[in-house]
Amino acid sequence: MVSDASPAPAKNPVTLREVAATAGVSVATASKALNGQGRMTAETRERIRETAQRLGFRPNSLAQSLLRRRSFTVGLLTNDTYGRFSLPVMSGISDALVDKGVSVFLCNVEDDQRLGQLHVDAMLDKRVDGIIATGKRIDRHLPVDLSNLGVPVIYAFTQPDPGAIAFVSDDAGGARLAVEHFWRLGRRRIAHVSGPASFAVVHARAQAYRDVLTEKGLPVMEPLLGSWSEAWGHEAVKTLFDGRLSKRGGETPDAVFCGNDQIARGVIDALRERGLGVPGDVGVIGFDNWQIVAEATRPPLTSVDMNLAALGREAGLTLLSLVGGEPAEPGIRKLPCRLVVRQSCGRPPDG
């Protein structure tokens, strides 16, 4: 059956004049109240805002942009096609900006310089208030020149330009959290299995591992470096437990600190195949706190969380400050990691 009812006519948008009339004030006063400007009592400002909300008033974003010389948009550039690192960062950025009425546009530049420049040009054409660059590792620059753009630029989890403002996780501090946790648990033969030597974070974490063991007077096993994969974690266990340990003190480890969660999962699988219990015989800690991996591991994996959402939030707030004309010191700012304790290593007696 086909209805012959006519659709309801489109409702005209509520105007600022209607808000002012309903609130009993002038149009100028209503405009100032809704823009956080002008001198008036807090009660008057709140009454106008409540009236606007009740009537469903939506300010003209184009007019506001022209008035304030801002677009209330921010561009986010990344080459992290998988989104493993950029998505948590973007979540934090959005969290910081949404309450300020600022929208975020994500553009994936992959590793293509031409594509990156196209995205940057498009952002500038749209008059973005600023740009945040993020990536999949902190020692590689995005394939696009972000210097001298005429808008503020912040780097988050990627290599910055000289003299820029950048936010990264404190990888060395995160490694310390893991190794010191093992020490508090009474583990004294702690091995380290990590990723490729071409990554700066691999060396930062390995050095922190060595430093903690030296400070505690424990034997330092030479870190084993390979790929960021479960297969490498599985292979590393063979090296650690098949007697080829003359250069590593001759004893098999009772704990393994891994450079990422995938390696840790491979280590746990290999230990189980050897009849070794986790954490009973060997404790295991990963890095990244990639939840879909850490929580699905058996037993669930203790891991270092890089706090990427918090990192993104700080980057977003700093960009807002720059857009507002507030000064900020250039340089790389390291944000602390946190240890998420699950069942793969246990808790210390005082934890």
Question: And the tokens for 290?
Answer: 């990639």
Tokens of 193: 């299995």
Q: Which residue has the higher pLDDT, 323 or 351?
A: 323
The whole-angstrom separation of Cα 166 and Cα 87 is: 17
For residue 123, how far is the Cα from the chain centroid?
22
End-to-end CA distance of the chain: give it in Å, rounded.
68
Indicate yes or no: pTM above 0.85: no
Environment class of residue 78 by beta-carbon count within 10 Å: exposed (0-12), middle (13-18) or buried (19+)? buried
Residues 6 or more apart in contact with residue 150 via CB below 8 angstroms: 124
**Contact assessment for residue 137 and residue 171, using Cβ atoms and an 8 Å cutoff:** no
pLDDT score of 247: 46
244 pLDDT band, cuts 50/70/90, is low
pLDDT of 243 reads 61
pLDDT for residue 68:
53
* Structural domains of the chain, ranges and CATH numbers in brackets: 16-59 (1.10.260.40), 69-170+308-334 (3.40.50.2300), 171-306 (3.40.50.2300)
Of 245, 254, 271, give the one whose Cα is nearest residue 218. 254
Q: Is the pLDDT of residue 246 over 50?
A: no
Looking at residue 100, its pLDDT comes to 77
In tens, the pLDDT along 146-181 reads 998 999 999 999 999 999 999 999 999 999 999 999
